[in-house]
């Protein structure tokens, strides 16, 4: 069974530029999560989807971050414009119930 | 609201020695508890979980953890460390049931010396 797939794995951009991350969850997993992991910290939830519906986006900085999950499968997380403080690893996870499976993450560096 | 405290940001052991990584949690409802491992440049892999039932849970790679409600703890142990155990370990808590939101600790970096 394929795991959670994320791309790109690494991204370097200049501040004020836009960036997008893509996630393909495990087949059949209705719940999809985006986390941000800062250096030396544990992951922090940005947004959670149940199928196509964003059911928890309270931690998503909505002035510059947006996300979508069309057709309840793949998801895209976008930042526009990026700031220096957005440098982090962005993790996608999916679950059928409470056990979450994580992808390898996208390491974003904003210069 | 839930929170997790991992005591010790860095633990160093010798190969073959006992591994003990400490985790204390705070939860207003019966928690679900998890330990994840993260190798460099990789995502998180679930080691073990506690939901209900037996308080001593066994996971992959010889790890186990015991849920102690009275101490609000969920410490991770392994009797004999192996070089391949060197990684970052995260404890996490959720409110359980249909609430899937995980709150993670800051992590403990485990170093295994030959």
- The model's pLDDT over B63-87, given as tens digits with 9 standing for 90+, comes to 999 999 999 999 999 999 999 999 9
User: Which residue in A41, A48, A97 is closest to B101 by CB distance?
Assistant: A48
Average pLDDT over residues B46-58: 93
Confidence of residue B98 (pLDDT cuts 50, 70, 90): low
Residue B96 has pLDDT above 80, yes or no: no
CB contact under 8 A, A102 and B102: no
Average pLDDT over residues A8-24: 97
Look at residue B2 and give its three-state secondary structure: coil
Torsion on CA atoms A28, A34, A37, A43, rounded to nearest 10: -70
Position B45 scores a pLDDT of 94
Name the H helices within chain B: none
> Over pLDDT 90: what percentage of chain A?
87
Taking contacts as CB-CB distances below 8 angstroms, the residues of chain A near B49 are 99
CB contact under 8 A, A48 and B43: no
How far is the C-alpha of B89 from the C-alpha of B79, rounded, in Å?
16
Position B41 scores a pLDDT of 82
Q: Does B96 touch chain A (CB under 8 A)?
A: yes
Taking contacts as CB-CB distances below 8 angstroms, the residues of chain B near A45 are 101-102
Residues 40-99 of A with CB under 8 A from B: 40-45, 48, 56, 91, 93, 95, 97-99
Smallest Cα distance from B7 to chain A, Å: 14
Taking contacts as CB-CB distances below 8 angstroms, the residues of chain A near B10 are none
Close Cβ partners of A23 (under 8 Å, ≥ 6 residues apart)? A4, A5, A6, A32, A34, A74, A75, A76, A77, A92, A103
Look at residue A83 and give its three-state secondary structure: coil
How far is the C-alpha of B105 from the C-alpha of B82, rounded, in Å?
24
Position B101 scores a pLDDT of 83
CB contact under 8 A, A43 and B90: yes
Confidence of residue B97 (pLDDT cuts 50, 70, 90): low
User: Which residue in A42, A44, A91 is closest to B43 by CB distance?
Assistant: A91
């Amino acid at each position: 069974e394929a795991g959670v797939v994320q791309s790109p794995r690494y991204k370097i951009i200049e501040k004020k530029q836009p960036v997008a991350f893509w996630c393909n969850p495990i087949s059949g997993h209705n719940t999809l999560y985006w986390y941000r992991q800062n250096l030396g910290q544990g992951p922090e939830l940005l947004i959670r989807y149940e199928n196509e519906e964003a059911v928890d986006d309270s931690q998503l900085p909505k002035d510059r971050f947006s996300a979508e999950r069309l057709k309840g499968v793949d998801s895209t997380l976008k930042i526009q414009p990026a700031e220096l403080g957005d440098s982090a690893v962005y993790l996608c996870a999916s679950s059928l119930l409470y056990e979450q499976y994580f992808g390898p993450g996208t390491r974003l560096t904003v210069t | 609201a839930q929170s997790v405290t991992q005591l010790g940001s860095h633990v160093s052991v010798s190969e073959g020695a006992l591994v003990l990584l400490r985790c204390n949690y705070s939860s207003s409802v019966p928690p679900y508890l998890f330990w994840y491992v993260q190798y460099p440049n990789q995502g998180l892999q679930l080691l073990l979980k506690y939901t209900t039932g037996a308080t001593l849970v066994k996971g992959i790679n010889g790890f186990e953890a015991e849920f102690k409600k009275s101490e609000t703890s969920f410490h991770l142990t392994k009797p004999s460390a192996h070089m391949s155990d060197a990684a970052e370990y995260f404890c996490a808590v959720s409110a359980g049931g249909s609430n899937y939101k995980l709150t993670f600790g800051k992590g403990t970096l485990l170093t295994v010396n030959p």
